[in-house]
Amino acid sequence: MTKAKITNEEALAFHLEPTPGKFEIAATVPMTTQRDLSLAYSPGVAVPCEAIAENPALAYDYTNKGNLVAVISNGTAVLGLGNLGALGSKPVMEGKAVLFKRFADVNSIDIELDTEDPEAFINAVKLMEPTFGGINLEDIKAPECFIIEQRLKEEMDIPVFHDDQHGTAVICAAGLINALHISGKKIEDVKIVLNGAGAAGIACIELLKAMGARHENCIICDTKGVIYQGRTAGMNQWKSAHAVPTDLRTLEEAMKGADVFLGVSAKGAVTQDMVIAMAPNPVIFAMANPDPEITPEEAHEVREDAIVATGRSDYPNQVNNVLGFPYLFRGALDIHARAINDEMKIACAHALAALAREDVPDEVALAYGKSLSFGRDYIIPTPFDPRLIHRIPVAVAKAGMDTGAARRPIIDMETYELSLKSRMDPTASILRGLNARARTAQSRMIFAEGDDQRVLRAAVTYQRSGFGKALVVGRQDDVKQKLEEAGLGDAVSELEVINAAITPHLDTYKDFLYSRLQRKGFDLKDVHRLAARDRHVFSSLMLAHGHGDGLVTGATRKSAHVLDRVNHVFDADAAHGAAGVTALLHKGRIVLIGDTLVHEWPDENDLANIAERAAGVARHMGLDPRVAFVSFSTFGYPVSERAEKMHLAPAVLDQRGVSFEYEGEMTVDVALNAASQDAYPFSRLTGPANILIVPARHSASISVKLMQEMGGATVVGPILSGVDKPIQICSTTATANDILNMAVLAACDIG
């Protein structure tokens, strides 16, 4: 399987399009009428202002303080890039803000402070306390980060958390709990060697000591060797606190007989000889990024009994901070915590460790393309485990309440856990699952329109993302020129470019096409022109003959034209049961609408066919289908000949005995709104519909485009269903990312 590759151009384009940066601010209240403005601002806003002035705790009720975290840096230690300055750190801080939102629904704003003076930094952050529910410090160099965090924790009454220190420490601790469990050792007995006495290293060792590791069993090394009692070179108060009486002077000496190695240092710091010298069942957390102190392959080559973790996603057991900080803050914010204390961090570590020991949900295994079960190669949960959001914050909140850190304790923990489950957008896990299935399928994807830069960018991304092989239909020199114009000149040699002039199969294609079209008014010259000059037909012929596994087209011509061309090769029309289903993703919901592509004016039997096709697409996407046949009437009122077929279609499904929920006819609000459904207790739907079958293609098109333009919905599709091979037809307005999504759907054979 090809590893994902990201170019500089792609990274810059990602941050530039569709708008500069990675997030925006959106209002959560209506702001349309004069009354709305009067309530949101003057004079209505005066009422909560006075209430908060009298009782500051009400800020958590009347403002966004209770779900708002500041991500703050001065850019003195940006990733592994060094001191890039405050402005140079902004893309990272924006990224951290969107991770907070994506993984734990925590609103976050990035703040970059242009100072290297700890006092100035501390004063600036302190002054912002009324605004935020918590402070996440990031990418501040040591030892200033220790001074800044300690002072802010002492002087502020909201959680202050330096993720480079404690985020790494929490995930490291979680992994170590399970590694020791597997090796049959206890934390109070093991000899631990830490290499790297910076922010993360010191935090790791302090947390492990808080969990029971003995001071005398922990040896810390830095670039000058072992930190021992009496050493003066390169010391500071934080290192001195962990100095031990020992004759050991080098990392090599310290590693002899060690049970655990923790590395937050540099590539290659650990040799195979050092690993050989470790105790039985050694635990090696080589967390240097981007390259570990020793690779898992190198360690396992000399010690099969080693349990190895790294900071990289392409190895098992990734020590990834995203497993910690979103959920720590989620739990802390939800109890209006004064701080994130050691007990809360330890609770987070134990909850993560416990989760890794449980059976792994199928969707997680699917997302990673392999079966996962607790053991030497799976001691830490994966970042995309859907259980994290409702398991880790609960443990953190309980610990905060037990230790007196909570201003507002949670009374009903069961209800709290349910509320956490509902916070997360299910569309993210569905799309992630589709991506994983595409990677597993490794489909050879035919991109029919190799003369379009968007298509070429999608093809390059498809291949570099590890989904499979991209086959581009076009002229080699034209493809080369357009890739170079897109800043992707290095991808020319990666893509396979195909056209009628160079394929050895053209005669076979023409014979096949003639056999299909000879009684439909096409002669041999027509067939030659279609096969040799029409890229939609040529691409369809490639697919029909197994010279590709899926097809994406339609970015340059209207869908009706493209579908007509596809029908020369495949039976992709209404008579053969094909249908177009479009997915709308909006505010955490997915709703499928059909038919958006094939049927112009379906009757009740066609509508039943479309419903079955849509239900199949829904199941492929991991949804439990609930179909509503929608109209302007609900269960017969108002009476209309136009709505009659929507009333008859469910009866057709009754006769077919299908295995999904369906009901109709009904208006859209009754289909989608649970409160509106309560007025019809006899309805067979057990909840809001996720599939809407509309009366005609024009109403489907209007609905989708209205939601896209006015509602801001993300549109995926139309997904062509009911054809023998995976074919997806894009919109002419599709972006490169839209085209890539359609390729992923084709690779998953969603239709």
Which are the catalytic amino acids?
A: 41, 96
Phi, psi of 395 (to 5 degrees): -65, -40
**Pairwise CA distance, residues 105 & 285, whole Å:** 30
The token pair at 60 is 């958590």
**Pairwise CA distance, residues 607 & 629, whole Å:** 8
Cβ atoms within 10 Å of 749's Cβ, excluding its own = 15
First vs last C-alpha separation in the chain:
24
- Cβ proximity of 457 and 488 under 8 Å: yes
Q: Which of 441, 332, 426 is nearest to 384 (CA)?
A: 426
Instruction: Compute the CA torsion angle 255, 260, 265, 270 (nearest 10 deg).
Output: 40
Per DSSP, 357 falls in state: T
Residues 6+ apart with CB under 8 A from 750: 434, 617, 620, 621, 719, 721, 726
- Local structure of 286: helix, strand or coil: strand
**Pairwise CA distance, residues 374 & 365, whole Å:** 12
Residues making up the chain, counted from first to last: 751
**Pairwise CA distance, residues 88 & 235, whole Å:** 30
Task: Tell which phi-psi region holds residue 382, choosing left (phi > 0), alpha (psi between -120 and 50) or beta.
Answer: beta
Phi, psi of 665 (to 5 degrees): -85, 160
Phi, psi of 69 (to 5 degrees): -120, 140
The token pair at 442 is 């490794």
Q: Sign of the C-alpha dihedral, residues 659, 665, 668, 670? A: negative
Instruction: Compute the CA torsion angle 62, 67, 73, 77 (nearest 10 deg).
Output: 170
Residues 6+ apart with CB under 8 A from 73: 86, 89, 92, 93, 110, 111, 112, 113, 137, 138, 139, 140
Phi, psi of 653 (to 5 degrees): -70, -35
- Local structure of 270: helix, strand or coil: coil
**How deeply is 654 buried, as exposed, middle or buried, from its count of CB atoms within 10 A (0-12, 13-18, 19+)?**
exposed
**Pairwise CA distance, residues 313 & 323, whole Å:** 13
